[in-house]
């Protein structure tokens, strides 16, 4: 059974596909997700103490002039129904539907430090060849990793963090001893 976020995403996908606007609305959905993932914005949108009228005004101020009316209408509907916590998952699900339709996928790269553009391009090329489809990479820097990175793509986790390598080394030493 589809989750609530997936149902919202499917409705948006149907509207966008009928109008031939998948690419445009997908770009806007990504912008919505990225904006709402910012800590200060998420604090406002997910805070039950902030009245819906303020959240609605907040969305209006940020997005109204920049989004297709169907996408903005979906955001407004989700807010009116009290499902503002499902907006980001719905945008992720919508993007996944568009990518599936286009033979693309998204990889989430979490790195301890900012990789240079050449490293990202090489990784993108390698993943595209291995998966047989175009891979877009979204990056998040997490200094708490200390070193290394991990990638999540199409249900696979590739973990090359320092903590994982230390864990593996510890397991190997325990087996030998």
Query: Tell me: the pLDDT tens digits for 28-40?
Result: 998 998 888 887 7
Query: Tell me: the pLDDT tens digits for 67-84?
Result: 999 999 999 999 999 898
Q: Which pLDDT does position 167 carry in this prediction?
A: 87
Token duo for residue 7: 């149902």
Domain annotation for the chain: domains and CATH numbers: 4-99 (1.10.520.20), 104-176 (3.40.30)
Residue 121 has pLDDT above 90, yes or no: yes
Decide: residue 168, CB within 10 A, 0-12 exposed, 13-18 middle, 19+ buried: exposed
Query: CB neighbours of 75 closer than 8 A, spacing ≥ 6?
Result: 32, 59, 63, 67, 87
Q: What is the mean pLDDT of the chain?
A: 89
3 state SS of 115:
coil
Q: Which pLDDT does position 63 carry in this prediction?
A: 87
pTM across the whole model: 0.70
């Amino acid at each position: 059974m589809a989750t609530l976020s997936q149902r919202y995403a499917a409705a948006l996908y149907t509207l966008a596909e009928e109008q031939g606007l998948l690419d445009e609305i997908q770009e806007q959905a990504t912008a919505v997700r990225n904006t709402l993932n910012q800590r200060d914005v998420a604090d406002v949108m997910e805070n039950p103490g902030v009245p819906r009228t303020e959240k609605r005004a907040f969305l209006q101020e940020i997005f109204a002039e920049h989004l297709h009316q169907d996408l903005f209408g979906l955001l407004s509907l989700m807010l009116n129904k009290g499902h503002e916590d499902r907006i980001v998952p719905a945008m992720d699900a919508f993007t996944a539907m568009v990518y599936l339709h286009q033979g693309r996928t998204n990889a989430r790269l979490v790195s301890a430090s900012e990789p240079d553009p050449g490293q990202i391009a090489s990784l993108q090329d390698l993943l595209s060849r291995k998966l047989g489809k175009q891979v877009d990479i979204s990056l998040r820097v997490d200094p708490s990793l200390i070193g290394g990175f991990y990638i999540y793509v199409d249900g696979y986790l590739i973990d090359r963090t320092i903590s994982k390598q230390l864990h593996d080394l510890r397991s190997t030493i325990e087996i030998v001893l």
